C-alpha cells in the first residue's frame, strides 16, 4: 500500500461523495477539495450528509492536502510557504516586514480618501508581477461594496510597472456585492474561481460598509459581529488554503471625537480586530502624502511609514519630504 499523499482533484473524487452530494456541496460553496478540508462537520451536514459520512469526507480531503498533524519540521516548511506581496512603496513594505503576507488578513482602515481603495487596486496589479519584483505571479479577486473599483486606474498603474494592461485587467476577477448577505455569498462561493484563476490576492473593499448600514442599533450589534466573524473566518480559510494574501478595508471617522471617545476605533469592533492579523491605520497628510501606522501585528513592532498616492499609484516619498512630515 502506498503511504504517499492521496490526490483527489475534484470533490467527486473524494470517497463518499457522489454526483448528487457534489452538486449540493457546490451549492453551499464547497467546490474544491481544499474548501472541504477546512469545513466543519456541521457545515457539510447542511448538504444533507450524515455526520459520520461528513467526518469521513473531511478526513479524506484533509489527508489529500495534508491538514492533519504535522511535525514541527513540516510546520517550518508551511511557514516557509508564506510569501510577501509588495505595496509599491519600500517604506510601507518595510513597515510590514517586507510586504503583505499570504495566509493571513491585512486590514487597512482610515477615513474617506485616506487611500484604502488605491492600495487595494495597486495590490491587484502588483500581485501579477514576477516574484523578483515583489509579486506572486497570480491573479486577484476583488469584492467591491462601494462601487469604487476603476479599471482606468488599474490600467494607469499597470502601465507604470510595465505590465500589459490588457493582461492585468484579465487577471482581476471582480464582483460587486449589493448587500452584506450577497457579500458573504460571494466569498462563500469563491473557492472555485480562486483555484481556476490562480488567485493569490483576495480583497474585500469595504468589509464593513454593508454590515454597518444594515445592522443598526444596539439590538443588531451581536448579530452583526457574529456575521462579520463568520465572514472573516471564511476569508482566512481561503487565504490559508490557497496561500493567498487577504485584504479588507474599513472606513472610520477622521477625528477622535470627545463625545464618542476614540472615534477612530474601527466600527467592525473587537471581532474584526481579533481576526485580522495585521492592522494598518491610514491618515492623510499634505496633498498626496499619506501616513500608515502599523497598529497591530502578530510579531512586528508598531511604527509608521510615509508614502504617497500619485498618478502612478502607491509610491515612496523622497527622504527630505518624509523628514518634513515626521517633524510636523
> Which of these ranges, 87-95, 99-107, 217-225, 303-311, lies near ligand ADP under the rule CB under 6 A?
303-311
If binding means CB under 5 A, how many residues of this protein chain bind Mg ion? 3
CA–CA separation, 205 and 253 (whole Å): 16
Question: Residue 237: which of 15, 229, 159, 70 has the closest Cα?
Answer: 229
Strand order in the sheet with 172-176: 172-176, 139-144, 199-205, 245-251, 105-110, 278-284, 289-296, 303-310, 313-316
* 145 sits near Mg ion (criterion: CB under 5 A): no
**Closer residue to ligand ADP, CB minimum distance, 46 or 169:** 169
Grid coordinates representing 249 are 478595508
**Closer residue to ligand ADP, CB minimum distance, 112 or 178:** 112
Strands 199-205 and 313-316 turn out to be: unpaired
* 63 sits near ligand ADP (criterion: CB under 6 A): no
Grid coordinates representing 96 are 510590514
| DSSP state at residue 205 | E
Site for ligand ADP in 123-182 (CB under 6 A): 148
* 117 sits near Mg ion (criterion: CB under 5 A): yes
CB of 148 to Mg ion, least distance (A): 5
Burial zone of 328 (CB within 10 Å; 0-12 exposed, 13-18 middle, 19+ buried): exposed
CB of 205 to ligand ADP, least distance (A): 7
**Closer residue to ligand ADP, CB minimum distance, 29 or 268:** 268
**Closer residue to ligand ADP, CB minimum distance, 118 or 180:** 118
Question: Residue 171: which of 190, 186, 158 has the closest Cα?
Answer: 158
Grid coordinates representing 217 are 442599533
Among 59, 148, 225, 312, binds Mg ion (CB under 5 A): 148
Among 11, 248, 285, 309, binds ligand ADP (CB under 6 A): 309
Q: Cell 498603474, residue? A: 157
* 225 sits near Mg ion (criterion: CB under 5 A): no
CA–CA separation, 250 and 230 (whole Å): 17
If binding means CB under 6 A, how many residues of this protein chain bind ligand ADP? 12
* 310 sits near ligand ADP (criterion: CB under 6 A): yes
> Which of these ranges, 20-28, 70-78, 114-122, 299-307, lies near ligand ADP under the rule CB under 6 A?
114-122
For residues 296 and 109, the answer to whether their CB atoms sit within 8 Å is no
CB of 119 to ligand ADP, least distance (A): 7
Among 32, 89, 114, 128, binds ligand ADP (CB under 6 A): 114
Question: Which partner from the list Mg ion, ligand ADP, none does 97 bind, CB cut-off 5 to 8 Å by kind?
Answer: none
CA–CA separation, 304 and 311 (whole Å): 23
Question: Residue 117: which of 138, 89, 145, 155 has the closest Cα?
Answer: 145
Question: Interface residues with Mg ion (CB under 5 A)?
Answer: 116-117, 148
Question: Interface residues with ligand ADP (CB under 6 A)?
Answer: 110, 112-118, 148, 309-311
Amino acid at each position: 500500500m502506498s503511504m504517499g499523499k492521496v490526490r483527489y482533484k475534484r470533490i467527486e473524487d473524494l470517497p463518499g461523495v457522489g454526483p448528487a452530494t457534489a452538486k449540493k456541496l457546490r451549492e453551499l460553496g464547497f467546490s474544491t477539495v481544499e474548501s472541504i478540508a477546512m469545513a466543519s462537520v456541521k457545515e457539510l451536514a447542511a448538504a444533507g450528509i450524515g455526520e459520520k459520512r461528513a467526518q469521513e469526507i473531511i478526513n479524506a480531503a484533509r489527508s489529500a492536502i495534508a491538514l492533519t498533524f504535522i511535525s514541527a519540521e513540516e510546520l517550518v516548511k508551511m511557514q516557509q510557504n508564506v510569501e510577501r506581496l509588495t505595496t509599491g512603496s519600500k517604506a510601507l513594505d518595510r513597515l510590514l516586514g517586507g510586504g503583505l503576507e499570504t495566509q493571513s488578513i491585512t486590514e487597512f482602515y482610515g477615513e474617506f480618501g485616506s487611500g484604502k481603495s488605491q492600495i487595494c487596486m495597486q495590490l491587484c496589479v502588483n500581485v501579477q508581477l514576477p516574484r523578483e519584483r515583489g509579486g506572486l505571479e497570480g491573479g486577484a479577486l476583488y469584492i467591491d461594496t462601494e462601487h469604487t473599483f476603476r479599471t482606468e486606474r488599474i490600467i494607469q498603474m499597470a502601465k507604470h510597472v510595465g505590465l500589459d494592461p490588457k493582461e492585468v485587467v484579465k487577471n482581476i476577477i471582480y464582483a460587486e456585492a449589493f448587500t452584506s448577505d450577497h457579500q458573504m455569498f460571494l466569498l462563500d462561493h469563491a473557492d472555485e474561481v480562486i483555484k481556476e484563476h490562480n488567485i493569490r490576492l483576495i480583497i474585500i473593499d469595504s468589509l464593513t460598509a454593508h454590515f454597518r448600514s444594515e445592522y443598526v442599533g444596539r439590538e443588531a450589534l451581536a448579530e452583526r459581529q457574529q456575521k462579520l466573524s463568520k465572514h472573516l473566518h471564511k476569508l482566512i480559510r481561503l487565504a490559508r488554503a490557497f496561500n493567498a494574501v487577504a485584504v479588507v478595508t474599513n472606513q472610520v471617522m477622521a477625528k477622535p471625537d470627545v463625545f464618542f471617545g476614540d472615534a477612530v476605533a474601527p466600527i467592525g469592533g473587537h471581532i474584526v480586530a481579533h481576526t485580522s492579523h495585521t492592522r494598518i491605520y491610514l491618515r492623510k497628510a499634505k496633498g498626496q502624502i499619506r501616513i500608515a501606522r502599523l497598529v497591530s501585528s502578530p510579531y512586528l513592532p508598531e511604527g509608521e511609514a510615509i508614502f504617497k498616492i500619485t498618478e502612478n499609484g502607491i509610491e515612496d516619498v523622497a527622504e527630505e519630504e518624509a523628514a518634513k512630515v515626521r517633524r510636523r
